[in-house]
């Protein structure tokens, strides 16, 4: 099945021609359980829009990330307002775009593409702003002199960016790919100042000296069970944040709460990044708290 034909098949029955219609989609692999369609469509309905959000799952369609160019091109032609982009396409999509927002350019990762009336495709990153909003909502008063982050991929880059904007003094980045954690730390120091981030290998030592930890890896997802650190490292004065939201209570969060840690799940980031994307797609101001209620009711 050609990529363009696949995209047309998922969109043609639902795209409405009303002046206040918005057609968007999500491209990624293994995304059938995503809550984004319901969140966007319910918020659109609440604002009087004919808002259609389609899942374009590479696995289901028998495609790979190599089909991304054809999918993005087809979405422009079929009148999509934009696309959300997730694993494994957040970096792959960048060369296919006409421009990037300041944040997307700095992070080297795109999770939202907006098609302008002039036909130009502009990449944005709402992952970092979504995490920052969730953190301010749930953990605004915690100490953040030293923080350990597990994961230095696309999502990890966005979360690390947010953490330093939120005032983390020193961020230790741990990744199974040492080179990737070193590159991220170097990039962060270039933007935020020398010594603000470093690549670390000894997770035990780093966590023992930390005020909080963040899981920005897939560990904890239904298909990637586990947690990024030993359970014995969790202690009551340590706060814990996880960006995984399916399931909402990961193994890390369950053990953190049992150890008396303050914790934040990935639901908040999922909602607030969706709210920021909704604003970009529709031009309307979303009600993030209403979107949170929609998310929690699913």
| 3-125 and 128-268, same CATH topology | yes
Alpha helix stretches (DSSP H) within 142-286: 154-165, 178-192, 203-208, 251-258, 267-282
For the chain, give every domain's residue range: 3-125, 128-268
- Of residues 87 and 282, the one with the higher pLDDT is 282
Distance CA 202, CA 196 (A): 18
Distance CA 88, CA 85 (A): 8
Closest CA to 9 of 67, 74, 84: 74
Is 128-268 CATH 3.30.70.3040? no
Distance CA 173, CA 164 (A): 12
For residue range 107-159, what is the model confidence (pLDDT) as tens digits? 999 999 999 988 899 999 999 999 999 999 999 999 999 999 999 988 999 99
Q: 90 catalytic, yes or no? A: yes
CATH number given to 3-125: 3.40.50.10860
pLDDT at 73 over 80: yes
For residue range 260-278, what is the model confidence (pLDDT) as tens digits? 999 999 999 999 999 999 9
pLDDT at 12 over 70: no
HSE-up (13 A, CA, CB side) for residue 271? 24
**In sequence order, what are the beta bridge partners of 241?**
214, 264
């Amino acid at each position: 099945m050609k990529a363009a034909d696949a995209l047309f098949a998922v969109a043609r029955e639902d795209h409405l021609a009303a002046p206040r219609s918005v057609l968007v989609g999500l491209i990624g692999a293994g995304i059938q359980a995503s809550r984004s369609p319901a969140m966007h469509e319910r918020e659109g309905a609440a604002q009087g829009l004919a808002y259609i959000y389609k899942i374009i799952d590479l696995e289901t369609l028998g495609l790979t990330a190599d089909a991304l160019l054809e999918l993005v091109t087809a979405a422009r032609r079929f009148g999509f307002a934009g696309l959300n982009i997730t694993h494994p396409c957040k970096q792959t999509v960048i060369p296919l775009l006409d421009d990037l927002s300041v944040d997307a350019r700095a992070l080297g990762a795109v999770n939202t593409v907006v098609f302008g009336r002039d036909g130009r495709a502009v990449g944005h990153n709402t992952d970092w702003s979504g995490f920052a909003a969730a953190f301010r909502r749930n953990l605004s008063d915690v100490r953040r002199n030293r923080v350990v982050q597990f994961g230095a991929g696309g999502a990890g880059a966005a979360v690390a960016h947010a953490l330093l904007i939120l005032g983390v003094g020193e961020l230790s980045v741990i990744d199974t790919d040492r080179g990737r954690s070193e590159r991220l730390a170097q990039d962060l120091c270039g933007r935020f100042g020398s010594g603000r981030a470093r690549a670390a290998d000894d997770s035990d030592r780093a966590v023992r000296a930390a005020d909080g930890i963040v899981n920005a890896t897939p560990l904890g997802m239904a298909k990637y069970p586990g947690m990024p650190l030993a359970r014995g490292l969790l202690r009551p004065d340590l706060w814990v944040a996880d960006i995984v939201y399916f399931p909402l209570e990961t193994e890390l969060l369950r053990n953190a709460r049992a150890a008396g840690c303050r914790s934040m799940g990935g639901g908040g980031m999922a909602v607030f990044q969706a709210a920021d994307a909704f604003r970009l797609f529709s031009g309307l101001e979303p009600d993030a708290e209403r979107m949170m209620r929609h998310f929690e009711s699913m």
